[in-house]
Amino acid sequence: MGNDILDVDLLAFETGDASQRAAVVDGVMRSLANGFVYTAHDLSNDLLDDAYGKLAEFFSSPLDEKEHYRVPESFGQTGYTGLLVETAASSDVADWKEMLNWGLSLPDGHPLKTAYPGNYNPPVLPEATVPGIESVLLDFHSRIYGIQRRFLRIIAVGLGCAESFFDEMVTDGPTLTRAIRYPPMPDAPSGEHVWAGAHDDINLITALPRATAKGLQVLIGGEWVDAIPPDGQMVINTGLMLERLTNGILPPGNHRVVGDPAEPGERLSVVQFCHPTPSTVLAPIPSCVTEANPLAYSTVTAESALQKVLWEINLLS
């Protein structure tokens, strides 16, 4: 297998004939064996530009203003998270980044919100600081979630499952959107810090639309490779939950974010982590367990898997 990240087209899977659909499925499965794939999509460039403009305005606010939106008891799952808080499990120093996190809350009385209140925090967005930001960011969340849900149908077919296999799993899941500002590296406290240390995501899949600067690197074939999707495409990477569900067939995409000395400025990125419902039992899919690929993973709940990782990256301390 090569070390390339392949380009696919979500819309070709949805509207193409049988051969076009099969080609997309084949490309996705071959590329995700390395943890990453680029896909064309239908997210509006205007919406993405609007989101980045409002996020830049928020992150340029004074620190005491941003701290108004910090929600300590949410453990980084909603509101503002300051610099040098999250630490990659592979690193001894905190990441040089600050974040704004949000998702969609469920109505009071919903059984998932009742059972897992910490997973369904109401979004805490800086509407008072940046008028209009709330509607833009909630719209962005909804549209990226839709793309991820649709993309999971390609993966389901590639795994030998019904196209709708993941639909119920991610409906009302605590999918999280995270806007990240990476400050200029010359301002970092020491040379040991990077924007984000090497790590795997915990969730099913992560969507990364274009950022405002380079920096994302992915580990493929033992080498760090710059991940720069073609114009009009986004990065999709696999997470630890999908690895467990597929009995290791689709490993998590290991990645990091590092500053380019040739571009010493800051970087803004918006990513979305697609999560199953907390009660989901992450048991290997039967089609992924074969004589050549024997059962390698025990079963855990999505909630216990998430809490373990939050502890490891210093968000539950």
Taking only the tens place, the pLDDT of each residue in 158-168 is 999 999 999 99
Whether residue 152 has pLDDT greater than 70? yes
Give the per-residue pLDDT at 315: 66
Q: Of 1 and 255, which is predicted with more confidence? A: 255
Give the per-residue pLDDT at 1: 40
Whether residue 101 has pLDDT greater than 70? yes
Please, which residues bridge with residue 79 across strands?
Answer: 101
78/216 Cα distance (integer angstroms) = 23
- 244 touches 297 (CB < 8 A): yes
Query: Domain spanning 7-312: which CATH class is it, in words?
Result: mainly beta
- Give, in degrees to the nearest 5, the angle at Cα 226 between 221 and 232: 120
135/124 Cα distance (integer angstroms) = 12
Share of the chain above pLDDT 70, in %: 97
Distances (CA, A) of 69 to 97, 102, 183, 200, 276: 16, 11, 19, 27, 26
Q: For the segment 224-267, what is each residue's pLDDT rounded down to a tens digit? A: 999 999 999 999 999 999 999 999 999 999 999 999 777 789 99
Distances (CA, A) of 301 to 140, 173, 269, 306: 28, 13, 29, 9
- 91 touches 128 (CB < 8 A): no
Question: Is this prediction's pTM over 0.85?
Answer: yes
Distances (CA, A) of 70 to 78, 100, 130, 292, 310: 8, 9, 16, 49, 17
Give the per-residue pLDDT at 87: 83
Whether residue 3 has pLDDT greater than 60? no
- 198 touches 257 (CB < 8 A): no
Instruction: Give the residue from 124, 123, 134, 129 showing the smallest Cα distance to 58.
Output: 129
Q: For the segment 276-301, what is each residue's pLDDT rounded down to a tens digit? A: 999 999 999 999 999 999 999 999 99
Q: If DSSP codes are grouped into helix, strand and coil, which group holds residue 182?
A: strand
Give the per-residue pLDDT at 2: 47
181/288 Cα distance (integer angstroms) = 38
Q: Which amino acid is at 156?
A: A
Give the per-residue pLDDT at 235: 97
Instruction: Give the residue from 240, 246, 241 showing the smallest Cα distance to 286.
Output: 246
Bridge-based pairing of strands 7-9 and 36-40 is parallel
Whether residue 4 has pLDDT greater than 90? no
- 175 touches 274 (CB < 8 A): yes
Instruction: Give the residue from 42, 61, 171, 180 showing the smallest Cα distance to 106.
Output: 171
- 194 touches 289 (CB < 8 A): no
Lowest mean pLDDT among 106-110, 133-137, 241-245, 312-316: 312-316
